Amino acid sequence: MSVLVVGVSHRSAPVSLLEQVTVGMGSPASAVTELRGGAVAEAVVLATCNRVEVYADTEGFHAGVDAISDFLSRTSGVPHEELRKHLYVHWEGQAVLHLFQVACCLDSMVVGESQILGQLRRSYAAASSGAGRTLHELFQKSLKVGKRAHSETGIDEAGQSLVTVGLEHATVELGSLAGRTGLVVGAGSMGALAGATLRRAGIAEMVVANRTAGNAARLAASLEGRGIGLDDLEQALVDADVVVSSTGATGAVLTADVVARAVARRQGRPLAMLDLALPRDIDRAAGELPGVTLVDLEQLGEVLRETQTGADVEAVRAIVTEEVGAFLSWQRASRVAPTVAALRARADQVVAAELSRLTGRVPDLDPRARGEVEQAVRRVVDKLLHTPTVRVKELADPSGGVSYAEALQELFGLDRAAPAAVSGAPVAVEDDVEEPDEVVATVPPQLQGTG
């Protein structure tokens, strides 16, 4: 089985197409359920404001690509011929490299932005039941690689936050935010970041609007503001100077009609609006109203198109390169480990049978002497098996060439079902990546209780 990623992102497609794919796919958990089967054995869907990617463990490259691209086309309603112009595909080592770059924020719209780690964790947690051993290990490692990048380098400062960049462009006509009123629509992690950014910019009054009033109240309390429901949004627009919206809604939260009625009551005061949602929260027609400046992800993408560089970015790239090599080594070893285990199990059976035969032939053999004989036999077997088991791990070919594991099976007459049984056994996992205020990725049920 091999890792495959098929996706579409801000780098490969316009925001309008990203919206279609995001909305059509539904929840990552339901998408994983629909994807599994046939060519796709395991799957994890990573859906953020900048990308939709399907990570799969599959036996065949072409069959996997066809299954995933057909799924994305069917659910989004985008014709396959049109969609494939914007899809990118990574296989094996390149797929691992891509995920680690994503986790380290090297592929983000703003290099160094840390939001992606939380989004990646939530996507993995939502699809953990669809992630077997390979994807579980891959995503656990990606989270650790991302955390390592942020703790060992200054990548956090390599680029400004998406909120900061967006506000700089949205508030050009408004000027200083000191003493003004801010409105945050959406009480999720991006809303919290937006509120904190506005507070640091000097906003005097903060309002948080959310579909669930309780969530709005909780975030507003942390920002020393007040929370409201979406029913009170129009009046809040009348009073606000700057609006940042980032909800999980599938349709416009702020329609052009609502914004127009609020603008009519503002007596000519300028209104800055920043839409960080995908699909969009704010009707693009609202940006054409007099006095309204609207900036969305598509416009930000144009601003941030150039790749950021620097010593910290290079340091993160070095970490990614190192960790990709380590993961691929683990992957190669894991592919032959079942055969090695089966070989050693076969050797144990042979040793046990010969020792039993010895007991039958020499029943009066002194126990101490019998123990010496047993140790000597086991030492000989271990020495004979050491070189082939080490070499098979070193020579395992990730590209699918000569299979040294299969050669061992043939040479030693191993039961082909034995390696499969070993590979299906639980594997010890680590889950010590800590991320404040984020969903903790859980170990899939089939891997629980193994350390």
Known catalytic residues are 49
Amino acid at 2: S
The alpha helices in 92-132, defined as continuous H runs, are 93-103, 115-126
Name, in order, each residue with C-beta under 8 angstroms of 257's C-beta and a sequence gap of 6 or more. Answer: none
Identify the CA nearest to 443 among candidates 150, 147, 55, 143: 143
Identify the burial level of 288 via C-beta atoms within 10 angstroms of its C-beta, where 0-12 means exposed, 13-18 middle and 19 or more buried: exposed
What is the side-by-side order of every strand in the sheet holding 181-185?
226-229, 205-210, 181-185, 242-245, 271-275, 292-296
State the Cα angle at 332 between 331 and 338, rounded to 5°. Answer: 95
Q: Which element (helix H / strand E) includes 273?
A: strand 271-275
Q: 262: number of CA atoms within 13 Å, CB side?
A: 24
What's the DSSP call for residue 271?
Answer: E
Q: Is the dihedral of CA 15, 16, 21, 22 positive or negative?
A: positive
Query: Hey, what are 360's tokens?
Result: 């039958």
Strands 205-210 and 40-47: unpaired
Task: Name the CA radius of gyration of the chain, rounded.
Answer: 28
Q: Which element (helix H / strand E) includes 242?
A: strand 242-245
The alpha helices in 271-366, defined as continuous H runs, are 297-303, 311-361
Q: Are 184 and 210 in contact (CB under 8 A)?
A: no
Q: Which residues of 73-112 are buried (b: 16+ CB within 10 A; e: fewer)?
A: bebbebeeeebbebbebbbbbebbbbbbbbbbbbbbbbbb
Interhelix angle 367-395/311-361, rounded to 10 degrees, is: 150
Terminal CA-CA length for the chain: 24
Identify the CA nearest to 222 among candidates 274, 187, 246: 187
Interhelix angle 367-395/404-411, rounded to 10 degrees, is: 150
